[in-house]
Amino acid sequence: MIKQTILNTNHHLLHARMVEFCGWEMPLHYGSQIEEHHAVRGDCGMFDISHMCAVDVTGLDARAFLLRLLANNVARLHQPGRALYSCMLNEDGGVLDDLILYYLDDRRYRMVVNACTTDQDLAWMGARLTEWALDVALAPRHDLAMLAVQGPHAREQVWQVLPEVQAATAGLAPFSCAETETLFVARTGYTGEDGFEISLPTARVQAVWQALLGAGVRPCGLGARDTLRLEAGMNLYGQDMDENVSPLDASLAWTVDLSDERDFVGRAALLARPRQCQLLGLVLRTPGVLRAGQGVRTAHGAGVITSGTFSPTMHRAIAFARLPLQVAVGEEVQVAIRDQYSAATVVKPPFVRGGKILINLS
C-alpha cells in the first residue's frame, strides 16, 4: 500500500505529476521542474518533505549513544540548536544512511533520516540500543509533517506566513534550529540556497502550505529537488552511496571524525581499508545529458556516473562520478553516452551555491 503525506490532496489540487518514491506517492513536478528549480535559485520554493522521518533520541545516555552510533562526532555540537550532518555506518564501514542531527539539549536530540531507509534505520538503532544497554528512547515522529522552504527569499516568506517564528529564527545561524511551542524550524536544506526546514503538527501543515502558496511561494517537486541538490554538490543516499560504499569513497571524508579515539560503528573497517576511489563532479563539454550508470573512461582506469542530470542553472549536463584516485580536477575524461564517447571535464562540486555558478570552465 503506497503511503501518502498529509499534503497529498494539496498536490493533486495543483495538478502535480505524482510518482512513487520509496513507498510514498510524491510530487515529481507541478508542470515544469526547470521553472521550479529557477524559483528556488532566484526567489522561493517549497517542498513537501513529510516522507522523511524525524526521530527523537532522548534520555540520559542520548549523547553516549550518538557518539558511538554516528561517524561524525556529536561532541562537535557545543551549543544547543546546532546541527550536524553525519553518516550512520555498518560494521563494514558501509553507509546505512546519511542524516542531519539536531542538538536540542544534552538529553534530547532529533535526527531526520531518509524515507527509503527509515524502517531499517529504526531497526538498526533499536538493535544497537539493546546491545549497548543504554538509557535512550527512540521516537519516530509520525505526528509531524515537514516542509522545506528554500531560496533567497525563503526566510522572509516564512516570517510573513508564520510571524510567531520570526523572533526565534531571525538571528538563527545557518545549520542551526529553533523551537517554538509547536514548530521546529531549522536553517538547513538540500538545495544550496538559504531557507528553512520546518517540522509542524500534521493538523497544521495544510493551512501553512496554502498560506505559503498564497504568498507566492512556488511548490516544487522531487525533480527540482534532485537538480538543485546535484548542483549544490550534495549526495543522494542510495545513488551516490549506500551500504556497500565507504563514506571515504563518496566524498564524505569530511563528515567522518577519526581525530580521536572515539569508537564508533564502522571505525575499524574504515581504518583497515583506506580510500579506494573518489567521487568528483563532471561537466559535459558537448550537448547531451549525463545519467547515472554511464561509464567513464579516464587516463587512470574506468569510472562510473552515480548521479547525472541537466543543470538548469549552467545549461549543461553535470554529474557526480566515482573515479580512480589518480584522476585530478581539471582532467578531461570520456563518458559513454549511447554508442559514443563524449568529452567531460572533471571538477570539484559544488557546481552552484547561493544562486551563483562556481565552476569556471576555460
Q: Does 285 sit near another protein (CB under 8 A)?
A: no
Closer by beta carbon to another protein, 5 or else 227:
227
Count of residues in contact with another protein, rule CB under 8 A = 17
Closer by beta carbon to another protein, 269 or else 292:
292
C-alpha cell read off for 305: 556516473
Q: Which stretch binds another protein (CB under 8 A): 111-119, 148-156, 170-178, 287-295?
A: 287-295
CA 59 to CA 84: how far, in whole Å?
Answer: 19
CB of 305 to another protein, least distance (A): 13
CB of 189 to another protein, least distance (A): 20
Q: Does 34 sit near another protein (CB under 8 A)?
A: yes
CB of 226 to another protein, least distance (A): 8
Q: Does 223 sit near another protein (CB under 8 A)?
A: yes
| Sign for the pseudo-dihedral over CA of 112, 117, 122, 126 | negative
- Single out the residue of 23, 305, 46 nearest to residue 190, CA to CA: 46
Angle at 288 between CA 284 and CA 292, to 5 degrees: 75
Q: Which stretch binds another protein (CB under 8 A): 109-117, 177-185, 259-267, 308-316?
A: 308-316
Task: Find the largest Cα–Cα distance for the chain.
Answer: 59
DSSP E strands, 64-201: 83-89, 95-105, 108-113, 137-140, 144-150, 177-179, 184-186, 195-201
Closer by beta carbon to another protein, 33 or else 169:
33
CA 134 to CA 132: how far, in whole Å?
Answer: 6
The per-type count for the chain, helices as H runs and strands as E runs, is 9, 22
Among 33, 169, 188, 307, binds another protein (CB under 8 A): 33
Which residues are at the interface with another protein (CB under 8 A)?
A: 17, 28-29, 32-34, 223, 227, 287-289, 291, 309-310, 312, 317, 338
